[in-house]
Amino acid sequence: MIRALGLSFARPLLQSVNHVALKPAATAAFTACAAQLKKAMPPRPKPPPEEDIEEYFIHGSGPGGQKINKTASAVQLKHIPTGIVVKSQATRSREQNRKIARELLAERLDVLNNGDKSRKVIVETFKKKRADSSAKKSRRKYRKLEEEKAKTATTEAHSKSIDTPADAFTQEQNATSSQPYSLIHVSDARLRNVCDGAHQQGHSWA
C-alpha cells in the first residue's frame, strides 16, 4: 500500500519533469523572443473618454450577407476634439464593431500625437525590417546556389580541357609508333633501287 501511494505521488512529478525535459529548445527560444519583443513594443493606446466621442450606428455595405446590409450593425465614431472619424463593420455583431471602432480611433490618435513613436508605426517598421531581412537572406541563399553552380560548371570545363590534350597526345603517340615501319619499308625500297642501279653500272663498265 505504501508503495502504491509512493507511485501515485511520484507519477505526476515524473510527468512534469518529462514535459519540461522534452520541450523543444526552439520553441522555448521562440517564446522568449516573442516575450522580449512584446516588452519592447509600446503598450496599446487606450480609447479616448466617451464624452469626446460621437457614436453612430449605420447600415453596413458590401459583402457579408443580408444581416450586414439590412441591420445597423456598423459603427461610426467621431472624435470631437480632432474631428477624426473611423468606421467598423468587421463583424455582424454591433458590440464587437463598437470595440473595434474604439481601437481604431485610439490607434489614429496615437499616431497623431506620437508620430514615429506610436505603436502602429513601430510595429510596421519592425515588420518591414523583418521582411527585408528575410528577403536579403533569400537573395543570399540563391546567390550562393548560383555561385556553386557556376563553380561546378567551371570545374567540369577545366577537367574536359585537361582530358582533350591527353587524347591528342595519345593519338600522336599511336601515329608515331606506326611511323618507323613505313620508314623502314621506304628505306628498303630505296636501297634496292640503289643496288640495282649500281649493279647495272658495273655491267656497263665491264
What's the count of helices (H) and strands (E) in the chain, helices before strands?
5, 3
Q: Is residue 68 part of a domain?
A: yes
- Is the residue at 93 inside a domain? yes
4 is a domain residue: no
CA 152 remoteness from chain centre: 23
**How many structural domains does the chain have?**
1
Residue 155 lies in a domain: no
CATH code of 80's domain: 3.30.160.20
Domain that holds residue 107: 50-117
Tens of pLDDT along the chain (206 residues) come to 445 445 455 555 555 544 444 455 555 555 555 555 666 788 999 999 999 999 999 987 766 555 566 678 999 999 999 999 999 999 989 999 999 999 999 999 999 999 999 999 999 888 888 898 888 888 888 888 888 888 888 888 877 776 555 555 566 666 555 555 444 455 566 666 655 665 565 555 44
